[in-house]
Amino acid sequence: MAEKLLIIGSGPAGWTAAIYAARASLDPVCYVGVPRQNPAPVLPGGQLMLTTEVENYPGFPDGVTGPEMMGMFQKQAERFGTRVVGQDIVSCDFSRRPFTLKTSGGDEVEAHAVIIATGATANWLGQENELRLAQSGGGVSACAVCDGALPVFRDQPLAVVGGGDTAMEEASYLTKFASKVYVIHRRDELRASKTMQERILNAENAEVVWNKVVEEVIGDEKIESVRLKDTVDGSESTLEVKGLFMAIGHTPATGFLAGSGVELNDKGYVALPGRSSHTNIEGVFAAGDVADEDYRQAVTAAGMGCQSALDAERWLAEQGIE
């Protein structure tokens, strides 16, 4: 028997969709995925599972760790009857109804409606100490807007790796709190738009470190410095920083949608033609970072999860599936 609603993903978007769907008596099943390395850990619960302190989500005045928050989301979803399956969805056939999806366990499951909430993973340099300090709260992060205002980073020298608009936005945000912001870029010119470049080039406490790549992140419990290599002459130098922020892009988790017919944009994110969560295929919805390359915040992902569940509920009712 086909599921009424199947949710793929278990971050803020997936769990919020599950909460709303379960309370609407849609009896949702949530495929939360399995842990893997890519190169940083990819865990059920999404990017927040690598976040040690969340201070900007409403309702937590004293802050909360990412794993704690996702645990609360899951418990709330399960309280209303969401069924949880610890497998990946590896492929989807949306060409016929009910839809057919294959799991990492080799099973096939049918569903009348599907919400895609698989998120996007930050791109990392892949260095061992970089990833270790990111997981332990040692001052390495992939989201300045999420973490930059934390007390540990205030009035400290910080660095951003990247040269595009995202890197400029992250660096500009950090100038509000840091004593100095270094933008480490591998080339002699930035890829960001002129307007975004000017924000950093004209900031009193910002400096671009040209033609450099990070060879090593140095520090035990906390980051202390980074070892840089010059991309022109190969010389090495050390830059003392108390925080390192990766801004070299994100990769949406949409590989399993290959051949499914779901439309993606030129960066691989699920395309949402209108203001709703409807994809180009009726009965298939998307929510969270997998369809959002701009904001990538827990609260916006949760909001999109709510939208997707409401849209799915209405669509199922129109089909006479209740």
- Of 30, 88, 92, 146, which one is the catalytic site residue? 146
Q: How far is CA 281 from the centre of its chain?
A: 24
- Of 143, 289, 292, 311, which one is the catalytic site residue? 143
Instruction: Judge whether 116 and 257 are in contact, CB under 8 Å.
Output: yes
Taking the C-alpha atoms of residue 301 and residue 116, their distance in angstroms, rounded to an integer, is 12
Burial state string for 299-318 with b = 16 or more CB within 10 A and e = fewer than 16: ebbbbbbbbbbbbbbebbee
Is residue 92 part of the annotated active site? The answer reads: no
- Of 147, 289, 292, 311, which one is the catalytic site residue? 147
Is residue 147 part of the annotated active site? The answer reads: yes
Q: Mind telling me the catalytic residues? A: 143, 146-147
